[in-house]
Amino acid sequence: FFTFFRTCRGNAMLVGVGGSGKQSLARLAAYISGYDVFQIAVSSTYGVADFKENLLSLYTKAGAKGQPVVFLMTDNQIVKEQFLVFINDLLSTGIVADLFTQEDKDTFVNAVRNEVKATGQLDTAENCWDFFINKVRRYLHVVLCFSPVGDKFRIRARQFPALVNCTQLDWFHGWPAEALLSVAQRFLADVPNVAMDLRGRMAHYMAQAHQYVSEASQQYIESFRRYNYTTPKSYLELIALYKTLLAQKRAELQAAKERLQNGVEKIAQASAQVADLQQNLREEQIVVEEKKAQTDALIHSIGKEKAVVDEAVESSREDEEAASKLQNEVQAFQEECTRDLAAAEHVIADAEAALNSLDKGSLGELKSFGSPAVEVVQVVAACMTLTASGGKIPKDLTWAAGKKYMGNVDAFLKSLLNFDKDNVPENCVAAVEKEYISNPNFNVEFIKNKSSAAAGLCGWVVNICKYFRIYQVVAPKRAALAEANRKLETANKKLTGIRAKVKELNDRVAALEQSFMKATEDKNVAIAQAEKTGRKAQLADRLVNGLSGENKRWGQTIKKMEVTGGKLIGDVLLAAAFVSYAGPFNMLLRNQLVEQRWRPDLIERSIPMTDGIKPLDLLTDDTARAKWANEGLPIDPLSVENGAIITNASRWPLMIDPQLQGIKWIKNREEANGLVIVQQSQPKYIDKVIHCIENGLPLLFENLPIDIDAVMDPVLGKSTVKRGRNTIMKIGDAEVEYDPKFRLYLQTKLANPHYKPEIAAQTTLVNFCVTEKGLEDQLLALVVDHERPDLQEQAAALVRQLAEYTITLKELEDSLLFRLANAQGDILEDIELIENLEETKRTAVEIEEKVKQAKITEVSISKAREVYRPVASRGSQVYFLIDNLNALDRVYHYSMANYVAILKKGMDTTPGGKDESNVAQAERLGEEVDLERRVELLVETTCYVIFNYVAQGLFERHKLIVATQLCMAVLRSKGELQRDKFEFLLRGPKEMGVDNPLTEWVSESVWGSVQALKELEDYASLPDDLVGSSKRWKEWMELERPEDEPLPGDWKRMPEFDRLLLFRALRPDRLTAAMRKFVTNMIGAKYVTSQPYDLERSFQDSAPGTPILMFLSPGVDVAGSVESLGSKLGVTSDAGRYVSVSLGQGQEPIAMNALTNAHKNGGWVLLQNIHLTIDWTSGPLEKRIDKLAEGAHADFRLFLSAEPPPALERGLPISLLQNSIKLTNEPPEGLRPNLRRAYNQFNEEILESCAKQAEFRTIIFALCYFHAALLERKKFGVGNLPGATSGIGWNMNYPFNTGDLLCCGQCAVNYLENNVKVPWDDLRYIFGEIMYGGHIVEDWDRRLANAYLFNYFNEGLLEGLEMFPSFMAPPNSLNHRQVLEYIDETMPQETPVAFGLHPNAEIGFKLREAETFCNSLVQLQPRESGGEGGMSKEEKAKMVLDDLGDRLPEQFDMEDIRSRVDEVTPYVMVAIQVQYQHN
C-alpha cells in the first residue's frame, strides 16, 4: 500500500465499511514511509473557513518546506459537501480555487525561487508557481477513507470525478476466515490458564461466531428490513471483551468461592467443637461439684472458729469498755490540765522575754548604780526574795546586798534563766507579792524609765509570781493525771493481752475465710468455665443448626463453582459473543444465534462449557434483575437481555428505543448519579459533553438522528491517550481530562434506523423495540389498572415486594458471609456475632416464607388479571399492525404514548362499566355487565377506537387493506388462519402450462391459478369439478356480483375464508368486494365504512403537546375547516388567538415566532404546507414539536398541513409524524360514500336558504350525485397517469373538489331566485363549462361531463329522475337527515352501469385493485411468515424476471433449423429472422 506514497501524485481512495482498518493501514504506511499524517479536528463550529486554513497549512508544509505529508480524511469528517469541491480540485489540478490570496502566492513563489533557479529555469512568477504546485502534488498525498454503505459514496463519486479518477482505489472487504483465525490466535495467546490446543479451538470458534453474525445480519435485512453490520473492529472488540470478561468472571468466581469456603470452614469448625465442648462440659461439672464440697467444709470450720472468737470477744468486752472509759476520763483530765498549763505558758514566755532583754552590759550598768531609785532597789530585793534558797528570805535586802547578790553578772543571768519556776517556795512568792508587787510603781513600764535592766528583772519577777499562782492549781491535777495514767497503763496492758488473744483467734478465722474466698473463687471460676463451655456448646449448636441449610447449600455451590471454574472458558465465550453481537437483533434472531449457531459450535469444538448455559446466566442474576425492575426496566426477556448487554458491554450503548422504555430505565437508574441529558440539536451541547467527561458524570444523548456529529467520534470511540497520570481525550481542538467514571448512553426514537457501519463498530447497538408478548404484558397492566385499580396496585406492589425480597435475601446472605469472613479469633466467643447471624438467618427465613406466600398470592392475582388478557392481546396485535403501516406509506408512524392514550380513551368509552360518563349516550347500557361480557365489550370497543383513530389518517386506498390486516390478525390469534391458504390468498400463484379444457370461458391465467390452488388439500377436486359442473360454474363466474351469490355445489358449504381463495383464483376482479364482505362478517361493517373528515371530533384527542397534521388533497381547504372550528370555539384571529402561516421562502421566522407566542400565551397556530420547507421542518420545527408539551399553555393547539412527499423526496420527520394526530380528507372510495360526503357539505340551513326549496333540494342532490360520479369514475382509469393501462374513466386527471361543488350550489341558489323557471341550460353551462369545466381541458372529457349534466339536470329531475337503474332521486320533501337515510337504505350496490358504463368496464380496474391490494398485504407481512413480504425494489424486480424467465418457451435451435432448410425463400428468410428476434 505504501509504495504509491513514493510516487508523484500518489493519492488513495480506501473504500470499506467503518472499522475495517482503513485509517490504521494509512497511518502504518505513512509511518513506514516516514511521512507526517494530518487529519482535521472537527469541532461543533468547524466550517469551510477552517478547512481552507488547514489546506493552506498543508500547502505550506508540502510546497514551501518540502516535508512529505499524508492528508488523511474520512467521509464522516465531511461536515459540509463544499469540502469535496476543494478536495476534487486538489486531486485533479493541485490548484484549489479561492484558496490563495495574492500575498499567499507571493510567499510561496519566493519560497521556491532558489529551487527553480537550481533547475536551470527562469525564476518568473509563473514558473515558480507551477514549480510550487508540482512540489505540493509530489509531497502531499491525499488518502480518503470512504464507506460504500448508502448512496453518499455513489453520489459523491459522480459529482466529483477526481475522487475516483485521480486516486488509487483500494477496496476493504470483510476479513476472510484465515485472517479472523490468525487475529484471534494472536490476541488469545496471553490468556492465562488455557491449554494450547484449547486456545486454537477458541480462536476457531470466535472466527466462526463472527461469520455467523454476518449471516444473521444478511438474514435480518432480508426478513425484517433492518440493518446490522459486522466489521473487523467489532471482531477485535469481541476478543477484548472476552479477555476482560473472562478475567472479571474468574475473579468474581474466586472471590465468591473463597467467601463460601470461609463460611463453610467456620461452620465446620463450630461443628467440630460441639463434641469436645460437651466432653469438657462434663469434666468441668465434676470439678465444680468438688469445689462446692470443699467450700462447704470450709464454711463449717469457719463457723466453729468464729464461735470461739465471738465468745472471747464477748468476754473481753467488759475490760475493753472499762479501759475505754478510763482512757476517756484520763484524756479529759489531761486536756483540762493542758488548758491550764497553756494559760501559764505565756506568763513564762513573758518572763523569758524579760530576761532575754537583759544582757551583760545592762546588768553591769545596773550593778554600777551607786544609789539607784527605790523601785530599782525593790526589783533587786524581789529577785533576792524569790531566789532565796529553801524559802529563807534574806534579811538584808539593801542595795549593797543586792549588788553582792548580783555578783557575777553572767552567773546571775544564767541562774535566773535556769530558775526552777515549778518549785518556788510559797512564802517567797507571798512576800514578793505583798512587799513589792503590790506597789503601784512596781511595773515594767515605770521602772523602765529608771533602768532597762531593772525593768527586765521586774518583768521576770511579776511573771514568775503569776506562774506560781497558776501552777498551784495545776500541780494537784498533774498528780491526779499521773495516777490516772498509771491505772490506764495497767488497764491497757490487760486489754492488750485480751486483744492479742482475740487477734489470734480472728487471724485464724481470717485465714479460714481467705481459704473460703479462694475456694469460692475457684468454685466460681469452675462454674464460669462450665457455663462458658455450655454457652459455647450452645452457640456452636445454634450456629451449626441455624446455618445447616446454608452450609449444605454453600457446599453444593462450592462444588458447582469448582466445576464452573473449569467451564468459564466456554461460558464466557458465549456471553461475550452475545454482548458484542446480539444487541441489534430481535428476539428471534438472538435465540437463533445462541441456540442454533454459537452453542452448538461450542459443543462441536469440545470447548468446556456449562450444559444448557444461557448468556444471561453469566451476565446477570436475580438480584440485578430485581434492581432493574425497580428502576423501571420491563421484565420481558428482551428487555432483561438488553439490560445485561448495556451493563456488560465495553462500548457505549446506542439504544434503538421508539417506545422510550430503555431511556426511562436509564433515567431512573442514573438520576441519583447526576445524569445529564442532551440532544444533538441543542446549541453548544458539546460543552455539556466535556463537562460530563471531566467530572465523571453519566451522559444521555436522547433522540439521536441517523447522522451523528463527527465531533463526537473521539467520545464514541473512547479515543484517549495517557499523559503522565492523566488520561486525555481530544474533542475537536480541545483536550479534555478523561474521568474513568464517565458513562455515555445513546438513544434514538427511530424504529428502524440505518446507522453507518462506523457507528455500529464504535457503539453497542441495543434493540429495545418492544415485542408483541412484552407489549401484551404491559398493556395488561394498563387494562387491569383501568378496570381493577386495586388488583393492579396489588400486582405492582407484589412485583416490587418480590424484587425487594430478592435483593434483601442477597444482601442478607452477603452479610452472613461478610460477618463470618471478618470474625476475629474464636467465632464461638463472639456472642454478638452469633446473635447477628441468627437474626440475619431468622430474617432470611421470614423473607423466604414471605416469598413463598407472595408466590401464592401472585398466582391468585395473576389468575384474576388473566381475565383481561384478551384486551391486552388485541391491543398488542393492533399496535404491531399499525407500527408496520409505514410499509404502505412512510407517513404512517405512530408513537407508543399516543397509542396508549387512545387505548385508554377506548376503555373509557366502553359501555357496561361502573362509570359511563364518557360513553356516548346511545351506547350506554345503564348497568354493569358481567365480567365476561365486559371483557368482550372492552376488546370490541378499544379495537375499534384505535382503528378509527388510525383510519382518520389513512388514505382511502389503504383503509380496506388495514381492515383486512386487522381481521387476519384476529383470526391468526384465534388459530383460525391456515398459513398455506393465507399464502395463496396473498400470492395468487399460477401453475402455467397445464392443458385448459375450458378455454371458452376460463382464461389461461385463471386456469393456472386453479392448478396452483388444487395443491391445497381442500381444493384438490376443483379442476375436475369445474369441468364436470361447467354449466353451474360458468353461470357463477359470469355473475356481476358473485360474492353475493352461493357457490356451485358443495363449495357453498366451505368456510367463508376458504371461499376467498376461490375468488382469488377464479374471480380476482371481485376479490376486494368479497374481502370487504368477509371483513364485515368477521369483525363488523364499521371497519370497512369510511368515516367522514371531522376536525371537531379529532380535536377532542388533541392536546397542547399533540399537534394535528392534515394531509392535503386536491381542493381541500384546511384553513377553512380550522377557522370554522375556531369560530365555533371562540378562537379567532380577531381575538388574537389564531394565527395562520403559509410556509414558503422567508416564512420560517414568522411561523416560529407565532408558534412561540401561542405556546406561551395560548391560542391556535396553523402552519400550512410544511412540506415546502422540509429543511426547516426537519430541523427547528421538529425539535420544537419534540418539546411541545413542556411549559405549553393549556389553550395552545398546533395545526399542520402538508402533502405527503413523493417517494424520491425527503420525507417528513418521523418524530413529527409520531407525535401528531394525522388526518386525511380524500374522497372516499365508492359512489355511495362519495355521495354522502358531497351531500354532507350542505346542511339544512343552506337547503332552507333558497326561496324555491323543492327545486333547490332536488338540484343539490343531483349536483352531489354528479360530483360523486365524476370523482369515482377515475377508478376506471385515467389515461395520463403514470403506469396507466386504461383511460376508460377519464383521458386526463382533473382535481375536482368540494370547492367546485359548493360554488355550484351557490350559483344554483342565485339562478333559482332570479328566474321564474329553472334555467336548466344556464345551470348546465355554469356547471359543465365554468365550475367543473374549468378543470377539463380535453374535448372528449368535456363531452362526457356535459353528457352527465344533460342526463341529470332537466325537467325530469323535478318529477323524480332515475339516477341509475333502481335508484331514484329522493323526494324533495325530505330534509337533510332523511336524504342521508334514503341514500343508505335505497341506493343499490355500485355497478359500472351507475356511471353509464358496460358491466365489464370495471374488470380491468378491479383486477388492478385486487393485485395492488394483495401486494400491499404482502408488504405488511413479517418476512419470516410472508416469504418475500416487504421486498426491496431490487428483490421484486429479480422475482419478476425469474418468473418471466421460467415462463418463456425454450429458445429456437437456429443451427438445427438452418440445417433443415433446403431452399431459402423470402418466407423462410422472414421466419428465420423472426426466430432470431424471438431468441
In the three-class reduction of DSSP (H, G, I as helix; E, B as strand; rest coil), residue 1222 is classed as strand
660: DSSP letter? S
User: How many CB atoms neighbour CB 1280 within 10 A?
Assistant: 11
Predicted pLDDT at 443: 82
- Specify the pTM: 0.71
Scored b (16 or more CB within 10 A) or e, 126-145 reads ebbbbbbbebbbbbbbbbbb
* Grid coordinates belonging to 65: 518546506
Find all residues with CB under 8 Å of 724, minimum gap 6, and list them.
Answer: none
1092: DSSP letter? P
Scored b (16 or more CB within 10 A) or e, 751-783 reads bebebbbbbbbbbbbbbbbbbeebbbbbbbbbb
Q: How many CA atoms lie within 13 A of 616 on its CB side?
A: 16
Give the CA distances from residue 584 to residues 638, 676, 752, 1109, in Å, rounded to whole numbers and listed in that order: 11, 25, 10, 32
All residue ranges of the chain with pLDDT < 50 are 1424-1430
Q: What span, in angstroms and rounded, lies between the C-alpha atoms of 1124 and 796?
A: 46
Find all residues with CB under 8 Å of 869, minimum gap 6, and list them.
Answer: 776, 780
Q: By the 8 A CB rule, do 1066 and 1037 touch?
A: yes
In the three-class reduction of DSSP (H, G, I as helix; E, B as strand; rest coil), residue 1368 is classed as strand
| Residue whose C-alpha is closest to residue 52's, from 114, 101, 1, 12 | 101
Predicted pLDDT at 737: 92
pLDDT digits (tens, 9 = 90+) for 128-150: 999 999 999 889 999 999 988 87
Scored b (16 or more CB within 10 A) or e, 805-844 reads bbbbbbebbebbbebbeebeeebbebeebbeebeebbeeb
Q: Give the phi and the psi of residue 893 in degrees, each rounded to 5.
A: -130, 135
Scored b (16 or more CB within 10 A) or e, 1414-1432 reads bbbbbbbbebeebebbbbe
Predicted pLDDT at 1325: 92
| Residue whose C-alpha is closest to residue 432's, from 466, 474, 390 | 466
User: Which residue matches cell numbers 368486494?
Assistant: 1073
Q: What span, in angstroms and rounded, lies between the C-alpha atoms of 1349 and 89?
A: 67
| Residue whose C-alpha is closest to residue 22's, from 756, 758, 760, 652 | 758
Helix (H) or strand (E) holding 515: helix 452-546
Beta strand extents in 385-427 (DSSP E only): none
* Grid coordinates belonging to 28: 502504518
Q: What span, in angstroms and rounded, lies between the C-alpha atoms of 1304 and 1418?
A: 43
Taking phi first (over 0 means left), then psi (-120 to 50 degrees means alpha), and beta for anything else, what does residue 1185 get?
alpha
Q: Give the phi and the psi of residue 888 in degrees, each rounded to 5.
A: -85, -45
Predicted pLDDT at 98: 82
Give the CA distances from residue 492 to residues 321, 325, 327, 332, in Å, rounded to whole numbers and listed in that order: 11, 11, 9, 17
* Grid coordinates belonging to 122: 527562469
Rounding to the nearest 10 degrees, give the CA dihedral for residues 463, 467, 468, 473. 150
Q: By the 8 A CB rule, do 405 and 399 touch?
A: no
Q: What span, in angstroms and rounded, lies between the C-alpha atoms of 730 and 693?
A: 11
Predicted pLDDT at 1308: 92
673: DSSP letter? G
One-letter amino acid at 484 equals A
Q: What is the DSSP string of 1142-1185?
A: E-STT-HHHHHHHHHHHHHH-EEEEEE-GGGGHHHIIIIIHHHH
One-letter amino acid at 227 equals Y
In the three-class reduction of DSSP (H, G, I as helix; E, B as strand; rest coil), residue 681 is classed as coil
Predicted pLDDT at 1167: 94
Q: What span, in angstroms and rounded, lies between the C-alpha atoms of 69 and 38?
A: 7
pLDDT digits (tens, 9 = 90+) for 1334-1365: 889 889 999 999 999 999 999 888 888 888 88
Q: By the 8 A CB rule, do 12 and 170 touch?
A: yes
One-letter amino acid at 1421 equals Q
Scored b (16 or more CB within 10 A) or e, 367-399 reads bebeebbebbbbbbbbbbbbbbeeeebeeebeb
Give the CA distances from residue 528 to residues 283, 290, 523, 535, 541, in Å, rounded to whole numbers and listed in that order: 13, 15, 8, 10, 19
| Residue whose C-alpha is closest to residue 905's, from 947, 942, 956 | 942
Find all residues with CB under 8 Å of 884, minimum gap 6, and list them.
Answer: 1420, 1422
Q: What span, in angstroms and rounded, lies between the C-alpha atoms of 1330 and 179?
A: 76
Strand-strand pairing, 69-74 and 36-38: parallel
Sequence length of the chain is 1479
Give the CA distances from residue 617 to residues 258, 564, 571, 611, in Å, rounded to whole numbers and listed in that order: 21, 12, 9, 11
* Grid coordinates belonging to 229: 453490520
Rounding to the nearest 10 degrees, give the CA dihedral for residues 346, 348, 353, 357. 150
* Grid coordinates belonging to 423: 518549785
In the three-class reduction of DSSP (H, G, I as helix; E, B as strand; rest coil), residue 1286 is classed as coil
* Grid coordinates belonging to 927: 348497568
| Residue whose C-alpha is closest to residue 1140's, from 1169, 1179, 1183 | 1169
Give the CA distances from residue 785 to residues 118, 379, 778, 875, 1291, in Å, rounded to whole numbers and listed in that order: 91, 134, 11, 15, 58
In the three-class reduction of DSSP (H, G, I as helix; E, B as strand; rest coil), residue 1192 is classed as coil
Predicted pLDDT at 1428: 39
